[in-house]
Every structure is written in C-alpha cells, then in structure tokens.
Structure 1
Amino acid sequence: MKTLYDVQQLLKRFGIIVYVGSRIADIEMMAIEIDQLHRSRLIDDETYQIAKLILRREHRYEEEKQNQES
C-alpha cells in the first residue's frame, strides 16, 4: 500500500466508499473508517499504521496546497 488510491481500495474491500466532496474531508473520513476497522480487529497493526501514514501525508499535502492558493 503506497497511495491514497490503495487506502480507498482497502476500504472498498469492506464495503466502505467515502465521498464527501472535499478532498480533505474525504481523507479525514477515511482516517475515521480506518480507525474503526482497526478497533474492530478487521485490519492488522501494520496495515493500520501504513494506511494512517498515507492519510496523514495526503492530508498535509492538501493543506499545503490550499495555503499556497490563498
């Protein structure tokens, strides 16, 4: 797992499709869903950590992009 798309595919395996409309909001909702899957023991620790790192990286990238636009 290396990209946001990979995280989306992981969530999709569990029937979870996230689309809020805002990319940052989508990333935040995906993080919540990943937390729930981990708490429910549906994904292992390594998968959880990798997914959270990817989501943090993408969230930071989107925030920087928004700050540069304003």
Structure 2
Amino acid sequence: MGSTFNSLIGLIILALDIWAVINVIKSGASTGAKVLWVLLIILLPVLGLIIWAIAGPRGNVRV
C-alpha cells in the first residue's frame, strides 16, 4: 500500500514539474533566465517547483 501511494505522489510531482518547465519555456523571460529556472526545477523537483510557484516566470496566460 505504501509503495503505491509513494508512486502516485512521484507521478504527481513529475507531472507538475513538466507543467512548470513548459510554462517557463512559454514565458517572456530571457533565455538565460529560462535555462536557470529549468535547471532548478529539474535538479530540485519539489523545492524548485515551490520556488518557481512563488517567484518564477509564467507563460503567456490569456484571461
């Protein structure tokens, strides 16, 4: 039971990281900033995702 739950949490984090990387790539930030954000998200999946959610660049979102 525990390993199934851990696998589900891991999949959710992976999906959120992929979503964050896509949003960084779509953002209007400079190329260097995009590279640094993507590296942060990839190297520190949970912490990088939290930092990006607070301070990172967003993609072009139309309301």
For the aligned pair, the TM-score class normalised by the smaller chain equals 0.3 to 0.5
**TM-score normalised by length of structure 2:** 0.36
Of structures 1 and 2, the larger Rg is shown by 2
